[in-house]
Structure 1
Amino acid sequence: MPDLHASRRPEIVKLGGSLVDHPRLPELLDALARRGTPLVLVAGGGPLADAVRDLQPRLSLSDTACHRMAILAMEQTAHAFADLAPGLVLADTLAAIAAAHAQGRAALWLPARMALAAPDLPESWELTSDSLAAWLTAETGAARLTLVKSIPATGAAPAGWAAAGLVDPLFPAFASRTTARTEVTTAEALLAGLNGSLAA
């Protein structure tokens, strides 16, 4: 296993699937790419995961099959984001994340290889890309997890966010596995911060 702690600890930024309709998405992705290391981006499934939800009752699909399909939806969204921001490096393992950071570049996680092999991830709709981002935070020993949502957070901690429906019900348990600073922000707020740091 590569030593992701050898230099600066990674920072996970989870981009909600609803952001695919955000008019400033290309600008945000470009700013994240220019920020580079130690970022690891996690893409939500967005409308592709919604399509899996719609298909489940029509075909009487199991939760196991839909869990795998939803993770592949995240992977497809990641490919779309990489197409919009070529400066991002697609990475499907801890070694690939470390290699991207060694080049000074931000990694964009392809979750299928790691997540589908993980026995501690429930095959249920209660597990969403938010919990997967928290799981990756623990796996990488990241220092920070930022969830980028289309609306501001209500409540001040994971339990409150889950109660408000902002994150899935499993998120507080996965977030508790890590000492990372965990926060929720909007695309506008994150972009303002990135532009300010890049201009400094």
Structure 2
Amino acid sequence: MTIIVKIGGSLTRGAAPRRLLARLAAEQGLVVVPGGGALADQVRAVQPQWGLSDGAAHRMALLAMEQMAHAMLDLEPGLLPARTPAELAAAAAKGAALWFPAAMTLGRAGIPESWDVTSDSLALWLAAELGAERLVLVKAPDAPLLPSSGDRAADIAAWSATGLVDAAFATMAVRFTGDILPLPADDGDRLDAALRTRARAAAINEETKEGSRPS
């Protein structure tokens, strides 16, 4: 099964995330979702200057994610570009897919055209569309991460209240039954654990058991 990994836009406002992209490209069964980051920031800046509608700004921000996907592919050619569900499934079966979101999301019914929907909610939407096992939200090291309470709805509400995710995230989460794991980009151990599918974790456990048996 697939794991969706969304790279927070905050990670694109400084040095290029080369190491993170290389780490993800080495995995199989992943779909990497780019945040709009610094490019989406420019949309936010120009919208009031030009008096643009939220719908236009939403579409422009989607294209900022598309541009960021081009940038990430240039930084890490080991990622496999994909634009449709069939392409994503084929790419994830071979390695780590990189989602170019415009083809699936521009003008798509069910995706509100407002700033309530950012790349976090779009990653969640994609996770539901693909029936993914898990959504991993890779955030900046200083992001306001809170310990899990064990109550999914309460956790998501807290994430929204602190600005960790956007306003539409809770609504989008209704369609997704998999795990949602926010984590800081500088915690390699948590990222390694999050990238293990249940099947992969079971295989690792079985290998460990086999290795511990006397010959």
Q: TM-score range by the shorter chain?
A: 0.7 to 0.9
What's 1:57 paired with?
Answer: 48
2-structure distance, mates of 1:190, 1:142: 22
What's 1:12 paired with?
Answer: 4
> Which of 142, 145, 149 is the aligned partner of 1:153?
145
What's 1:3 paired with?
Answer: none
TM-score (norm 2): 0.82
Q: In the alignment, residue 71 of structure 2 is paired with which amino acid?
A: A
Q: In the alignment, residue 110 of structure 1 is paired with which amino acid?
A: F
Is the partner of 1:188 in helix, strand or coil? Answer: coil
Is the partner of 2:175 in helix, strand or coil? Answer: coil
**Mapped contact 1:155–1:161 kept (Cα < 8 A):** no
Rg larger in structure: 2
2-structure distance, mates of 1:163, 1:152: 10
Tell me, which stretches of 5 or more residues in structure 1 are unaligned?
Answer: 1-8
- Change in 2 beyond 3 A, CA 1:185/1:84: same
> Which of 91, 100, 108 is the aligned partner of 2:91?
100
What's 1:40 paired with?
Answer: 31
**Mapped contact 2:6–2:135 kept (Cα < 8 A):** yes
Measure how far apart 1:193 and its partner are.
4.0
What's 1:186 paired with?
Answer: 184
1-structure distance, mates of 2:53, 2:188: 37
* Structure 1 residue ranges (4+ consecutive) displaced by more than 6 angstroms after TM superposition: none
Q: Aligned-pair RMSD on alpha carbons?
A: 2.1
Is the partner of 1:134 in helix, strand or coil? Answer: helix
1-structure distance, mates of 2:176, 2:191: 24
1-structure distance, mates of 2:167, 2:190: 30
TM-score (norm 1): 0.88
2-structure distance, mates of 1:44, 1:154: 21
Trace 1:51-200 onto structure 2 (pairs within 5 A).
51-102=42-93, 104-150=94-140, 151-154=143-146, 156=148, 157-190=155-188, 193-194=191-192
- Change in 2 beyond 3 A, CA 1:155/1:120: farther
Measure how far apart 1:52 and its partner are.
0.4
Measure how far apart 1:175 and its partner are.
1.4
- Change in 2 beyond 3 A, CA 1:115/1:191: farther
Once the two structures are overlaid, the 10-residue window that deviates more, 131-140 or 175-184, is 175-184
Identity of aligned residues (%): 50
Is the partner of 2:122 in helix, strand or coil? Answer: helix
1-structure distance, mates of 2:47, 2:39: 13
**Mapped contact 1:134–1:175 kept (Cα < 8 A):** yes
